[in-house]
Amino acid sequence: MTTIKKLFHDAVPDYIIAIHRHIEHKGFAVFIVGGALRDLLMNRCPTEYDLATSATPHQIMALFDTVIPTGIDFGTVTIGYQGHMVEITTFRSESGYTDYRHPDQVAFVGTIDADLSRRDFTMNAMAYNPLSGDWIDPFDGQTHIQNRQLVCVGDPKKRLAEDTLRVFRAFRFMAQLGVVLDDPLCAALSEMTDAPLPNGDRMRHELNRLLLGPFWESGVHALHQWGWGKPFGLTWATPPSQLPQTLDYRWAWFISQCDWDRILQHLPFSHQHRRRFRHIIAWNFNPTAIEFTRNDVALSANDLQAMGFYGPALGQLQKAILHAIRSNQLTNSVEAIRAFVIKSRPTSED
């Protein structure tokens, strides 16, 4: 416990400490919750700090000058403080998830323990007060983190049915954190594959983070293994070794393992993204070919015009040169391209 308190005390930013003091000075309880504590225990640097409090949203709004009612119906507001945006949520309980996403009823509760019991995974159901040093971990999340094990709070099937986005969060945590799923969670995932998919934008956000994770192949394989890739027509093959560590290449590879039309029914992508993915897949994920453009060709459009090519003929020739260079049939040099152009020029009959 002493080690935990020292770790958290040394790491928590001053602005979070100041927010705690301000809220507690008005007589309300407040704790750091969620991912920041998980990340600290895993020697990761938190990107944000979320707080839970006994104060109602309107009471929080009265305490701070800059407040955005981001999710006030669910007890959440975002405050601006010392140049930082911090999400603060009132202790609450939830019940009824008929849409597999939002609770039908939200009730404010008086204790942090009751609030933690509604959360998804034990590693996210911990709380810490940096002023008092109080550390609250009713579901043994710290031990599960030490064992690199992802465990649901309570009954996994019930927890996942409340919000099917949690399914994709589980695979994302595998990819980001290198955790393994415990047996009850695996069983629940296998039994729930007929449940409705979550909102496309939110699902894509989780998959973005999954695909950029250091263990992303494990996350995608698990998605396939437990049947949650079926709506996309997902198959599984080992990704190419030269696949760049960028989101567009990894999405292109993921989509190449799916049925194109089916995945686009569920996930929103712009026409620009779709063209990019098709281009990457068409050139077999080879960055040298994919990133080579007309601007990189040794002979410019002006050079080709000087050789007598204009209009549609110029465009067709540029396309042919580009394709030949990308496919290693032509060296990108002035001499080689001139020879290619001469050879490609139609001969006229006398």
Position 176 scores a pLDDT of 96
Is 333 domain-assigned? Answer: yes
Is 44 domain-assigned? Answer: yes
Helix H or strand E encompassing 90: strand 84-90
Is 31 domain-assigned? Answer: yes
Q: Under a CB-based contact definition with an 8 Å cutoff, are residues 94 and 102 in contact?
A: no
Residue 322 in this model has a pLDDT that exceeds 80: yes
Query: For residues 149 and 182, what is the distance between their CA atoms, to the nearest angstrom?
Result: 6
Residue 99 in this model has a pLDDT that exceeds 70: no
Residue 161 in this model has a pLDDT that exceeds 80: yes
**If DSSP codes are grouped into helix, strand and coil, which group holds residue 328?**
coil
Position 103 scores a pLDDT of 57
What is the domain range of residue 340? 294-344
Is 311 domain-assigned? Answer: yes
Residue 131 in this model has a pLDDT that exceeds 60: yes
Q: Percentage of the chain with pLDDT > 70?
A: 93
CATH of the domain at 44: 3.30.460.10
Neighbour count for residue 242 (Cβ, 10 Å): 11
Neighbour count for residue 209 (Cβ, 10 Å): 19
Tokens of 333: 């040099």
Is 138 domain-assigned? Answer: yes
**pLDDT tens profile 282-306:** 999 999 999 999 999 999 999 999 9
Is 117 domain-assigned? Answer: yes
Select from 91, 124, 143 the last residue of a domain: 143
Residue 350 in this model has a pLDDT that exceeds 50: no
Position 96 scores a pLDDT of 52
Select from 143, 175, 204 the last residue of a domain: 143
Is 39 domain-assigned? Answer: yes
pTM: 0.87
Is 225 domain-assigned? Answer: no
Select from 143, 177, 198 the last residue of a domain: 143
> What is the domain count for the chain?
2
